[in-house]
Structure 1
Amino acid sequence: MSTVAAPKKISPLLAAYLTSLAAHPLRTKAITTSVLQFLQEVLATHLAGERAPRVSKDAPAYAHALAAAKINPKAYKMALYGFCVSAPLGHTLVGLVQKLFAGKTSLAAKIGQLLLGNLVVAPIQVAVYLTFTAIINGARSVDDVAKTLKAGFFKALQVTWMTLPLTMVIAQRYLAPELWVPFINLVQFCTGTYFNTKLKKIRMAMEAKAKKDEEEKKE
């Protein structure tokens, strides 16, 4: 008598997320990215050692709580960036690559897809991310943005090239398929927090240097 293995049970919350992802991929990705970008900004603010926003003594209790948690307008701007820019851009670029190689399973096609993702898609996403992050963190000119790109572009790209293939290998080898998307989101959240923290430190160093130069000129 043959027996059929019962399907593995997954969390109802995860099941609902995967169902939403299948039915409404762009909307689900946009909401997910928005939330993760918000949390990433708050965490990076703490890690970089940025000062908490000042609030008046007579401000409401919630305002003091937000200030203590270092939740400032930048976090909301990063959430908006995630929803309106990052998620749609990633969805479009990855979708184009998938359409270009749809139905192609040869080794050459797999290598071509990998190269296109790493040499075209990843640089675009990194450049856009660094540009918007620089602006949100205080860049006020094209030169400020260019300095941020120069300081972080290749480092971010190198980490992307190293982590993305490794992430896929780990997911495919050790995780159930339904856990791939959450796992990839977690890895991207960690790497994004790291680079946002680095950018904040670079920005603070640039501001400190500019302030010091200005003081020296006055003397």
Structure 2
Amino acid sequence: MSAPSKPLLAAYLQQLALHPLRTKAITTGTLCFLQEVLGSNIAHMPVKKPAPNAPFLLQLLARSHIDMRAVKMAIYGFLVSAPLSHYLVGLLQKAFAGKTGTGAKIAQIVASNLLVAPIQTAAYLASLAVISGARSVDEVVNTVKAGFFSVIRITWITSPIALTIAQRFIPVELWVPFFNAVQFTLGTYFNARVKQLRLNALAKKVEKEKEENRD
């Protein structure tokens, strides 16, 4: 790209080529942070108000749902999600490098869903358990067991579609930003959806308690 039409993309791809793991870690950490913040805002989560005499900046951050959970999600993206994806997807790409036949493409999709996706899903759920307050191995394991098949089922639906599009239309050097965009969109949607379900469940619980008290 001597005269790139999109200089920011060209600069990003250059950093990705020179420092792949660092660039992916910064990108994933940032996107995980934004997913949490956007998900909370879209779902209209109640704001945890700081003390009345807190600095204006802290009050502004609180109203925007920029809190420690968002910071922890950024740390997860930087230290867990990005390195894990970097090495797993890297191994997958090496295994199928130079293979462009239909059988190889199908095999790559199957390998991604049966080998890569389960590991990423387990790591994601375990990390969420810790971020949400799990303090024992049993709590983490139970969280993974409870959510594994729900998450992996969605992954098995969306991942083949995204990978097929990438194989047919996206140059290999653009796969990382393409999959980042897909994961960010889906992650933000599911983040907001889960929060909305929690709010609805809490509202129903409160309403039920009010009815019981009236009786």
Kept in 2: contact 1:42–1:71 (CA 8 A): yes
CA distance in 2, matches of 1:171, 1:59: 48
Q: What's the TM-score once normalised by structure 1's chain length?
A: 0.78
1:42 aligns with 2:32: no
The question of 1:27 aligning with 2:22 is answered yes
Q: Is structure 2 residue 189 aligned with structure 1 residue 194? A: yes
Higher RCO structure (Cα 8 Å, ≥6 apart): 2
Alpha-carbon distance in 2 for matches of 1:164, 1:197:
20
Residues 78-99 of structure 1 deviation map (CA, whole Å, 9 limit, x = unaligned): 1111111100001111122233
Q: Which residue of 1 aligns with 2:66?
A: 71
Q: Offset of 1:174 from its aligned partner?
A: 5.2
Q: Percent identity?
A: 56
- Gaps in structure 2 of 5+ consecutive residues: none
Corresponding letter in the other structure for 1:53: K
Do structure 1's residue 182 and structure 2's residue 182 form an aligned pair? Answer: no
Query: Residues 10 and 171 from structure 1, CA distance in 2 versus in 1: closer, same or farther, beyond 3 angstroms?
Result: farther
Asked whether the equivalents of residues 41 and 196 of structure 1 are also in contact (C-alpha less than 8 Å), the reply is yes
Which of residues 37, 56, 60 is equivalent to 2:51?
56
Aligned residues: 206
Q: Check the 8 A contact 2:4/2:10 in 1, yes or no.
A: no
Partner of 1:59, secondary structure, is coil
* CA distance in structure 2 between the partners assigned to 1:173 and 1:101 by the alignment: 15
**Residues 180 and 100 (structure 1), Cα distance of their counterparts in 2 relative to 1, 3 Å cut:** closer
Cα distance between partner residues in 1 of 2:115 and 2:193: 24
Q: Label 1:194 to 1:39 Cα distance change in 2 as closer, same or farther (>3 A).
A: same
**Which residue, 107, 116, 120 being the options, matches 1:112?**
107
The superposition leaves residues 18-70 of structure 1 with CA deviations (integer Å, 9 ceiling, x where unpaired) of 11111111111001001000001111222344322221111111101101101
C-alpha change, 1:129 and 1:159, in structure 2 (3 Å) is same
Shift of 1:157: 1.4
Alpha-carbon contact 1:26-1:88 (below 8 Å) kept:
yes
* Superposed CA offset, 1:99-140 (max 9, x none): 334455555544433222110110110111122123213344
Which deviates further from its counterpart, 194-203 or 65-74? 194-203
The change in CA–CA distance for 1:43 and 1:148 in structure 2 (over 3 A counts) is: farther
Higher mean alpha-carbon deviation, 107-116 vs 20-29, is at 107-116
Separation in structure 2 between the aligned mates of residue 51 and residue 165 of structure 1, nearest angstrom:
36
Shift of the alpha carbon at 1:172? 5.0
Q: How does 1:34-183 map to 2 (within 5 A)?
A: 34-105=29-100, 107-142=102-137, 144-173=139-168, 179-183=174-178
Q: 1:139 to 1:190 in 2, by over 3 A?
A: farther
More divergent stretch after superposition (120-129 vs 197-206):
197-206
Contact 2:109–2:160, Cα closer than 8 Å, also in 1: no
TM-score under structure 2 length normalisation: 0.79
Q: What is the RMSD computed on CA atoms of the aligned residues?
A: 3.2
Amino acid at match of 1:181: V
Can you give the 5+ residue segments of structure 1 that lack an aligned partner in the other structure? 1-6
Instruction: Output the CA distance in 2 between the equivalents of 1:51 and 1:114.
Output: 40
